[in-house]
A and B are shown apart, each in its own frame.
Chain A
Amino acid sequence: MGRFVVRRLIQMLLVMFAVSVITFLIFNVIPNSDPAVRMAGRQASESTIEAIRKEWGFDKSLPVQYVTTMQKVFTGDLESQFTQLPVGEEIRKGLPRTLSLAIGAALLWMFVAICFGLYSAVKAGRFADRFLTILALVGISMPVFWIGALMNHYLGFKLGWFPNGGYVELTEDPLDWAYHLILPWTALAILFIGFYSRVLRSNVLDTINEDFVRTARAKGLGERQIMVRHVLRNSMIPIVTLWGLDFGAVVGGGAILTETVFDLQGVGQYAAESIGQLDVPPVLATTMFLAFFVVLMNAIVDILYAYLDPRIRLL
């Protein structure tokens, strides 16, 4: 197990390096124009452009440019060309918000999906199953910005049951924190609940007919024990993989819409606003940061997967 983890982490570092090179190329080399001009933003003076060119080493060779860029990204020594605010500081401020949203939503969608998926599988073909199937399809089909806006408008603005957007620090007031996040969590989770409960339902139905489930029954185990220890555990393996990847994807960009609709001021919203302003340094930094997060989650998922399914460890 230890060797597997080490090997997987080394692989992760290699992927991160590749990601950084590709990001660098996309930002500074592929657009066939002077990177210093793009970096300086609109209506920049000749002297500003010259200063940026010196600072980022755009007059030097590509490897030197790459190293300079990475140094700037990783030391947090970047500032927005638009607001002059330090990028690192902005990301640090946005990260707890983005993670609050993503972790809460991920727990919510996993929990509800397990309940729905299991129930649907146990009642396969009956009314409850069909009802949940339709519900899942509706959930999958609703875009998050639309359902988010509806919830915000009706439950937040019209009925006043929930705060109309905004964010409260967890450390400040945990209850208020959760209260502010209920709508964003739900809006983000709905799509995944629909999807996950369908996948889990079919996995459970496949697993239920496995020989080892018959063995479990022949051992005299109770129905609940059979479902949880034998059926669910085996059906969960693919779902957990999916979960980690989706969680990474949500943090790495998937939550942009939700953050914006509910005005949570997370990393995603920061990235979206910076893109709107063609503000290159924050876009570069958030891209790198979120891509790294996805890669990290991938590694964690693989390690978790090896824990869940012992057959993986040999590979």
Chain B
Amino acid sequence: MSDTQPLLSVEDLHVSFATEEGVVKAVDGVSFDLRAGEVLAVVGESGSGKSVTAMTLMGLTRSPNARFEGTARFKGTELIGASEDDLRQLRGAEIAMIFQDPMTSLNPVQRIGAQIVEQIQTHGGLPDAQARERAVELLEKVGIPRARERVDSYPFEFSGGMRQRVMIALALSCDPSVLIADEPTTALDVTIQAQILERIRRLREETNAAVILVTHDLGVVADIADRIAVMYAGRIVEQGTLDEIFYDPQHPYTWGLLGSITRVDRPRPERLPAIAGLPPSLADRPEGCHFRPRCPHEFAKCSEVPPLEVRATDMPRHADRCWLSAEQKRALREVRPGEIGLHGKEGVSV
């Protein structure tokens, strides 16, 4: 996979919003590559800039107060600053998106089939009967039972999980090469979550589409991602393969994230560990490393911004933004033998 040209290449993307509290830097120098057939998970807590990054790639960050810098090249086309007309050609056809809340993401007064047909005809110009046939096929493919009848249903006649499948069918309708899924399972219950992820996984296998999966749920990530980008306060703080991030995490924030999930294979802690402190306000962020105020391993060098680069020589594509050496990191991240986590910082409460 690594030797092919990337499908999508994002470089030094900045998105800022002018607000009354000052300039909010929602995305601050994000770079990543995406290859065909790859699932890249963008992980981070609320407000880390992961959704804005995803929306910006589609040109859906529509605010008169937003400013964009940097580049995002998709198959040689620049997405940032592209005209509405050019973006419209790509949206739904080349890059498709699944949103977080299936309950509100479908037009309530339009039949499911009509909503799919609308997208097919916008990009393909198929005649009505064929487009409808294709809509039925798509609904079957995402596992809607009795698709031929249900194609004429309205969204309110479907459950949340069914609606999210319809959203997936919609996203698939023009065989996109990139699928952006913005927290696709957050609004669904756990059993439905697994089914939806299975759909996305199968889709990737069948069509070789690349997937950007935006989520805050590490469980979802472990299920399906090839590579992970961990975001904190608008920056990617660590990027690597699934195994690298889960078994050899380099950034203290990642340790904290991994330490704060419940695990069935470990004795249950009295209290679920959490990272002390709160994420910084995006309008007023600390100098240097953004995680510094919450990091127990902070030292003098941290007042400079650490670049995102490969620091552990044995992992050529695993990059992070932490000044500590790889040896220090491996020693510091064990809260208990064999267990990764982040110690609390003195003077910072949970």
Instruction: Answer yes or no: are A and B bound together in one complex.
Output: yes
Given contacts A215-B99, A310-B109, contact A220 B104 (CB under 8 A): no
Chain B residue numbers with a CB within 8 Å of A221 are: 88, 92, 118-119, 122
Q: Which of B97, B107, B119, B156 contacts A212 (CB 8 A)?
A: B107
- Answer whether residue A308 sits at the interface, using C-beta atoms and an 8 A cutoff: yes
- Answer whether residue A217 sits at the interface, using C-beta atoms and an 8 A cutoff: yes
Within 8 A of A (CB), among B113-127: 118-119, 122-123
Minimum CB–CB distance from A236 to chain B (whole Å) comes to 10
Chain B residue numbers with a CB within 8 Å of A214 are: 60, 99, 105
Chain B residue numbers with a CB within 8 Å of A212 are: 104-108
- Answer whether residue B154 sits at the interface, using C-beta atoms and an 8 A cutoff: yes
Q: Which of B89, B101, B110, B118 contacts A211 (CB 8 A)?
A: B101
Per the bound structure, the CA–CA distance linking A126 and B99 in Å amounts to: 31
Per the bound structure, the CA–CA distance linking A234 and B107 in Å amounts to: 8
Interface string of B213-230 (1 = CB under 8 A from A): 000000000000000000
Interface string of A298-309 (1 = CB under 8 A from B): 000000000011
Chain A residue numbers with a CB within 8 Å of B109 are: 233-234, 237, 308-311
Chain A residue numbers with a CB within 8 Å of B189 are: none
Output the nearest chain A residue to B102 by Cβ-Cβ distance.
A211
- Answer whether residue B346 sits at the interface, using C-beta atoms and an 8 A cutoff: no
Minimum CB–CB distance from A40 to chain B (whole Å) comes to 57
Minimum CB–CB distance from B292 to chain A (whole Å) comes to 35
Chain A residue numbers with a CB within 8 Å of B92 are: 218-221
Minimum CB–CB distance from A129 to chain B (whole Å) comes to 14
Per the bound structure, the CA–CA distance linking A222 and B104 in Å amounts to: 21
Q: How many A-B residue pairs have CB under 8 A?
A: 76
Per the bound structure, the CA–CA distance linking A121 and B99 in Å amounts to: 25
Q: Do A217 and B60 touch across chains, with their CB atoms under 8 A apart? A: yes
Given contacts A212-B108, A214-B99, A311-B108, contact A219 B118 (CB under 8 A): yes
Within 8 A of B (CB), among A212-251: 212, 214-223, 225, 229-230, 233-234, 237
- Answer whether residue B170 sits at the interface, using C-beta atoms and an 8 A cutoff: yes
Q: Which of A218, A234, A308, A310 contacts B96 (CB 8 A)?
A: A218
Q: Which of A219, A233, A311 contacts B154 (CB 8 A)?
A: A311
Minimum CB–CB distance from A103 to chain B (whole Å) comes to 26
Q: Do A229 and B104 touch across chains, with their CB atoms under 8 A apart? A: no
Q: Do B123 and A216 touch across chains, with their CB atoms under 8 A apart? A: no
Q: Do B122 and A220 touch across chains, with their CB atoms under 8 A apart? A: yes
Per the bound structure, the CA–CA distance linking A230 and B122 in Å amounts to: 14
Chain A residue numbers with a CB within 8 Å of B72 are: none
- Answer whether residue B93 sits at the interface, using C-beta atoms and an 8 A cutoff: yes
Q: Which of A219, A220, A222, A234 contacts B108 (CB 8 A)?
A: A234
Chain A interface residue bracket vs B: 20 to 34
Minimum CB–CB distance from B339 to chain A (whole Å) comes to 40
Chain A residue numbers with a CB within 8 Å of B99 are: 211, 214-215, 218
Chain B residue numbers with a CB within 8 Å of A230 are: 107, 110
Output the nearest chain B residue to A214 by Cβ-Cβ distance.
B60
Within 8 A of B (CB), among A280-310: 308-310
Within 8 A of A (CB), among B162-189: 167, 170
Per the bound structure, the CA–CA distance linking A237 and B89 in Å amounts to: 31
- Answer whether residue A210 sits at the interface, using C-beta atoms and an 8 A cutoff: yes
Q: Do B88 and A220 touch across chains, with their CB atoms under 8 A apart? A: yes
Interface string of A85-108 (1 = CB under 8 A from B): 000000000000000000000000
Output the nearest chain B residue to A210 by Cβ-Cβ distance.
B104
Minimum CB–CB distance from A122 to chain B (whole Å) comes to 13
Per the bound structure, the CA–CA distance linking A219 and B106 in Å amounts to: 11
Q: Do A218 and B154 touch across chains, with their CB atoms under 8 A apart? A: no
Minimum CB–CB distance from A24 to chain B (whole Å) comes to 42
Chain A residue numbers with a CB within 8 Å of B123 are: 220
Q: Do B106 and A229 touch across chains, with their CB atoms under 8 A apart? A: no
Minimum CB–CB distance from B113 to chain A (whole Å) comes to 13
Minimum CB–CB distance from B331 to chain A (whole Å) comes to 46
- Answer whether residue B245 sits at the interface, using C-beta atoms and an 8 A cutoff: no
Minimum CB–CB distance from A205 to chain B (whole Å) comes to 14
- Answer whether residue B84 sits at the interface, using C-beta atoms and an 8 A cutoff: yes
- Answer whether residue B36 sits at the interface, using C-beta atoms and an 8 A cutoff: no
Per the bound structure, the CA–CA distance linking A215 and B115 in Å amounts to: 10
Minimum CB–CB distance from A305 to chain B (whole Å) comes to 11
Per the bound structure, the CA–CA distance linking A234 and B84 in Å amounts to: 24
Minimum CB–CB distance from A210 to chain B (whole Å) comes to 7
Output the nearest chain B residue to A218 by Cβ-Cβ distance.
B97
Per the bound structure, the CA–CA distance linking A230 and B105 in Å amounts to: 12
Q: Do B156 and A311 touch across chains, with their CB atoms under 8 A apart? A: yes
- Answer whether residue B58 sits at the interface, using C-beta atoms and an 8 A cutoff: yes
Minimum CB–CB distance from B6 to chain A (whole Å) comes to 22
Q: Do A310 and B90 touch across chains, with their CB atoms under 8 A apart? A: no
Chain A residue numbers with a CB within 8 Å of B119 are: 219-221
Per the bound structure, the CA–CA distance linking A219 and B89 in Å amounts to: 10
Given contacts A218-B92, A219-B118, A220-B119, contact A211 B60 (CB under 8 A): no
Chain A residue numbers with a CB within 8 Å of B93 are: 220
Q: Do A229 and B118 touch across chains, with their CB atoms under 8 A apart? A: yes
14 contacts between A and B (CB under 8 A): A212-B106, A212-B107, A217-B91, A219-B170, A221-B92, A221-B119, A221-B122, A222-B122, A230-B110, A234-B108, A309-B108, A309-B109, A310-B154, A310-B156
A-B contact sample (13 more), CB < 8 A, given A225-B118, A310-B109: A212-B106, A214-B60, A215-B167, A218-B99, A219-B119, A219-B122, A220-B88, A220-B89, A220-B123, A229-B107, A230-B110, A233-B110, A237-B109
Chain B residues with CB under 8 Å of chain A are 58, 60, 84, 88-93, 96-97, 99, 101, 104-110, 118-119, 122-123, 154, 156, 167, 170
Chain A residues with CB under 8 Å of chain B are 210-212, 214-223, 225, 229-230, 233-234, 237, 308-311
Counting from the closest, the 6 A-B pairs by CB-CB distance are A220-B92, A220-B91, A211-B104, A219-B92, A219-B119, A212-B107
